[in-house]
Amino acid sequence: MASITLKGVSKVYDNEKKVVEKMDLHIQDGSFTVLVGPSGCGKSTTLRMIAGFEKPTEGEIWIGNQLVNDLVPGKRDISMVFQNYALYPTMTVRGNIEFSLENIKIPKRKRKEMVEEIAEVVGLTEYLEKKPQHLSGGQRQRVALARAMVKKPEVFILDEPLSNLDAKLRGQMRTELIQLHKRLGTTFIYVTHDQVEAMSMADEIVILNKGKIMQQAAPMALYNNPKNTFVAEFIGTPAMNVLPFEEIRVDLNIENNPAITHFGFRPEHGRLVHSEDPQIFTLRYPSKIITRETLGSETIYLIENKLGRQHIKSTEPPLSEDADLALCIPVEKIYYFDRQGNRVEKENEAFPYTLQNHEKGGVKI
């Protein structure tokens, strides 16, 4: 087992496009770390540099206490599950799993034992003699996992491994991967663009954008304490509503404060009430529903009011679309951001004093 450390790693391609920029990253030994971000954010490049398929333009990559910049992929003690699985199409499932063992000259009897043990774990025993093209997507996925596992590597790298599976299978494989990580206790690095995957599987999430780390934290920490609007809007379905601060500044009786330009609140924290309901919140805006998605256990509304458009998530029975409604925003659930999109926290001296009082409760004063 090994931790992974990136020190000031950059990757610049021939066309001088910086894909990864001065990245400092520490991935803890035995953790399940998910690199997540929109396409083109540099997550795959980061992964490929760790695996050794790409050389960093500058910086150092450490696996455990070994500097691996000049080490070929085979010597890094890494296993990888590729997005398209990259199974050897001319070999059987057994051949695929066995291949790396043959390469390091493990005796035949021992090999057979190891392959069969792994096949048992991933439930492939009856498919061992089949070729990959005769397997379903989920089974191929398992072969790829088995092939990676049989080597007993220090680090597991998974590059969007579930993106080719259908929704149901993806959910199932997610749980299986979590269990697998628990059992193996190996360091897992997992790349995805799907924040749901990231939230549901990770011990730690690294959010990337344009080659830079936006935030690295545990899933709930990210959710509750986003460091910037990018993270706030990336995590959560629907995303956090981020709106100009000016409108609520007046309603909250705050003096002009140049440090704060935007505010945000999570869709599930906004509340839709009928306009005749008693006024208990400071921030209350008459709104109308634009669209309504009823998902069974919850309903997602897209509403419009003088702040703009927002998403609201509610677990209460669906409201009729033409109802006369108002949106209430509990003040203690509001996040504040500056011009650069960075979070302005309570401890920050730019944080308006008047708001500190609101933090004690959203009840109208």
Partner 1 sequence: MSQDLLSHLPDNQPVAVTTRRSVSRDFLRPYIMIAPALIVFLLFFLFPIGYMIYLSFHEWNFISPEKTYVGLENFKRLVADPLFLEVIRNSLVYTFLSVFLTITISLALSLWLNKKGWIYSFIQGAVFSPHIISLVSVSMLWMWMMDADYGLLNWFVEKLGFEKVPWLTDPKFALISLVIVSVWKSVGYYTLIFIAGLQSIPKNLYEAASLDKTPKWRVLTKITLPMLSPTLFFLTIIGLINSIQVFETINIMTGGGPVNSTKTLVYYIYENGFVFFKLGNASAAGVILLIILTILTLIYFKVLSKKVHYQ
- β-strand 325-329 against 271-274: which pairing, if any? antiparallel
Q: Which residues, in sequence order, are bridge partners of residue 293?
A: 300
Determine contact, residues 193/160, Cβ cutoff 8 Å: yes
Determine contact, residues 114/102, Cβ cutoff 8 Å: no
Q: Which is nearer to partner 1, 131 or 212 (CB)?
A: 131
Shortest Cβ 39–partner 1 spacing (Å): 18
Q: Which is nearer to partner 1, 53 or 353 (CB)?
A: 53
Shortest Cβ 74–partner 1 spacing (Å): 4
Q: Measured between alpha carbons, how far is 95 from 150 in angstroms, rounded to an integer? A: 12
Q: Which of 11, 94, 140, 151 binds partner 1 (CB under 8 A)?
A: 151
Is the bond into 89 cis (omega within 30 degrees of 0)?
no
Max distance between CA atoms of the chain, in angstroms, equals 79
How many of the chain's residues bind partner 1 (CB under 8 A)?
24
Binding mask 76-115 for partner 1 (x = CB under 8 A): --xxx-x-x-x-xxxx-------xx--xx-----------
Shortest Cβ 126–partner 1 spacing (Å): 23
Nearest Cα residue to 84 out of 152, 36, 137, 128: 137
Q: Which is nearer to partner 1, 103 or 348 (CB)?
A: 103
Crossing angle of the two packed helices 93-103 and 137-149, in degrees rounded to 10: 20
Nearest Cα residue to 44 out of 205, 197, 195, 190: 190
Q: Which of 8, 13, 24, 53 binds partner 1 (CB under 8 A)?
A: 53
Binding status of residue 52 toward partner 1 by CB under 8 A = yes
Q: Which is nearer to partner 1, 73 or 341 (CB)?
A: 73
Binding status of residue 12 toward partner 1 by CB under 8 A = no
| Residue in this structure with the two tokens 């709930």, named with its chain if needed | 220
Shortest Cβ 362–partner 1 spacing (Å): 53
Binding status of residue 74 toward partner 1 by CB under 8 A = yes
Q: Which is nearer to partner 1, 80 or 207 (CB)?
A: 80
Shortest Cβ 65–partner 1 spacing (Å): 21
- β-strand 4-12 against 58-63: which pairing, if any? antiparallel
Shortest Cβ 63–partner 1 spacing (Å): 13
Map the footprint of partner 1 across residues 265-284, applying CB under 8 A.
none
DSSP assignment of 292-326:
EEE-SS-EEEEEEETTEEEEEEE-SPPPPTT--EE
Radius of gyration of the chain (CA): 25
Beta strands in 28-70 (DSSP E): 32-36, 58-63, 66-67
Binding status of residue 73 toward partner 1 by CB under 8 A = yes
Shortest Cβ 14–partner 1 spacing (Å): 11
Cα 144 from chain centroid?
22
Q: Measured between alpha carbons, how far is 23 from 58 in angstroms, rounded to an integer? A: 10
Shortest Cβ 360–partner 1 spacing (Å): 55
The window from 68-76, 190-198, 220-228, 283-291 that contacts partner 1 (CB under 8 A) reads 68-76
Map the footprint of partner 1 across residues 119-148, applying CB under 8 A.
133, 147
Determine contact, residues 218/203, Cβ cutoff 8 Å: yes
Q: Which is nearer to partner 1, 80 or 334 (CB)?
A: 80
Shortest Cβ 161–partner 1 spacing (Å): 13
Neighbours of 179 (CB within 10 A): 10
Map the footprint of partner 1 across residues 290-309, applying CB under 8 A.
none
Contacts to partner 1 by CB under 8 A: 51-53, 72-75, 78-80, 82, 84, 86, 88-91, 99-100, 103-104, 133, 147, 151
